[in-house]
Amino acid sequence: MNCAFKNLVGERNLLETISLDFGGTLAYEVKDDHIVFYEILSELGYKVDVEQLKDVFRSVRDWWRWEKVKTGKLWNEEAFIELIQHMISALRLPNPRKLALQVSELWPHRVVFRAYEDVEPTLKELKKRGFRLIIISNVSSHRNLSIYLSRIGLESYFDLLVASGSVGYEKPSPEIFKLASKMSNTPLERMMHIGDSYENDYLGAESVGIMGVLLDRKGLYKNRRCRKISKLTDLLNLIDEIL
């Protein structure tokens, strides 16, 4: 039995706050990003070739990844606008900065997320059991995360949203987890974090003493020996076992 499990046995009220990742854990994108950009540009009156846009978007996405490695830049609203501006310039559209600001403003209202079927039943049961629910996500801003959750009808379940682009730290940095602990007024050892990335979510949480749970929906981490579930509803049984 893992030592974290041992610490919780027989102490039913020890676990107070459960944090979850967003993308890949609670919801997934229905449309490819380049399609969403194409639809937004069309809405704003700009005609572009969708295949050209796909190639340009792939190129600027690769540029951003290299830029991040070189500079350590954080993915936030300004980085998102900069990426869009590079894409618009490559498409030779007028006023790249102004248009990038327009596109970034429309983006969270046009990108289409869908909640996994196992999410809402799990959230309802966790709230019923009295747990505080929060989100810790590597997303560009609190504003965007709030809009995404609102559009899929899940915002009311969460007491706190910790968006990396707004707080200045990204998972797996220990600092984002420590900040979530402080903001939720929960000791690290009384928190559990669930996410679909072994490095960002599981190892990031465990590095500061938060109990990590890996949500491996696609069986990508079969060889990883860690606390793991394959669907979110399995979390309920896991909590029953450890409490």
**Domain boundaries along the sequence of the chain:** 3-29+113-242, 33-110
Q: What is the mean pLDDT of residues 231-241?
A: 96
Which pTM value belongs to this model? 0.92
Unique residue bearing structure tokens 């009156």: 45
Beta strands, E only, 58-172:
113-115, 132-137, 160-163
Q: And the tokens for 19?
A: 């944090």
Q: What is the mean pLDDT of residues 52-80?
A: 96
Chain-centroid distance, C-alpha 185: 21
Chain segment 189-223, per-residue pLDDT in tens? 999 999 999 999 999 999 999 999 999 999 999 99
Helix (H) or strand (E) holding 16: none
Can you give the three-state secondary structure of 149-216, one letter per residue?
A: HHHCCCHHHCCEEEEHHHHCCCCCCHHHHHHHHHHCCCCHHHEEEEECCHHHHHHHHHCCCCEEEEEC
Chain segment 183-195, per-residue pLDDT in tens? 999 999 999 999 9
Query: d(Cα 61, Cα 146) in Å, to the nearest integer?
Result: 24
* 3-29+113-242: CATH class: alpha beta
Chain segment 22-34, per-residue pLDDT in tens? 999 999 999 999 9
Decide: residue 196, CB within 10 A, 0-12 exposed, 13-18 middle, 19+ buried. Answer: buried
